[in-house]
Structure 1
Amino acid sequence: MHIVIAADHNGVVLKGHLAVWLAAHGHTVDDRGAYGDADQTVDYPPLCADVCWQVTDGPADRGIVLGGSGLGETIACNKFPGVRAGLCHDLWSTRISRGNNDSNVLVLAARVVAPAAAEEIVAAWLDTPFKGGVHRRRLDQIAAIERGGGARALRDGGAR
């Protein structure tokens, strides 16, 4: 699988660890930054945008973004149509993120998740299939909101 990965200064060390781990597990990894010194402040919105474009319009199958809490990264990523970013701290939320929400961007909180746990989360995220069914209907409703339909799109037939 082609995975694009990026991190702000808080996630640079864990990103490097995961990039090596992903490559060792047979994935193509595209490291989009930040690089180097974890003490140098790096804004996350441009990194999130780059990852999301790579997932929606580029060659990446999925993306991984790391930040301190992951909260801002999740908000930024979910501004992009077609991106379903999930902030995951454990295996349960990871399996819901993929199985129910078909997430294509994984957000990790580098100040919360240890490297070994991050490996387990990423492995589960890559291996968990989307369930479809009622969850497909809900994703279609989210897509209607993205297209600018808002509550009206749901009220007028999207929320059966």
Structure 2
Amino acid sequence: MKTFAPRGTTEQIEEGRVFAPKFDADGLIPAIVADAWSGEVLMLAWMNDAALAKSIETCEAWFYSRSRGALWKKGETSGHVLRILEMRVDCDQDALLLRVEQAAPGTCHTGRASCFYRAVSLREPAGHTLVLQFKKAERVFDPAAVYGGEPKTKAAATPSGSTPSTGEPPATE
């Protein structure tokens, strides 16, 4: 289903007014999602042309799940719907930025405000195992209560340096 304008010249793409998104070889385009008011980056997801068209039509964030091979509406299960206030495209139209308003606090399926709650240690010598530092890692909702049962995580491993009983990083001040 080709919903959008065909790609034009570099000048048309970079300076023109026609939306002609560039999907990758798998038919996907990355969508960065940020809080419209604070600017905080909340998540990164993928859209195919159907998800992009539905997002534009409904002003709600729809994505394409690469693992399930299906469309999904953000917040359909949790109620944490993302209302799109503005959609931007980068200079060569191969990445999107959605500025959203959240229906409920917490975008990450782990219960955190943002999926970007850990920082990678920088300036480490090559060959060292890089340690993640927890930033803004407090949970703003209980994933078990929202999704039922255990949180939807890819792995049950406890992060290194965290409190084993909760998986939360140790308290630091």
**TM-score, normalised on structure 2?**
0.26
Greater strand fraction, Structure 1 or Structure 2: 2
TM-score by length of 1: 0.28
Relative contact order, higher structure (CA 8 A, sep 6+): 1
Greater Rg, structure 1 or structure 2? 2
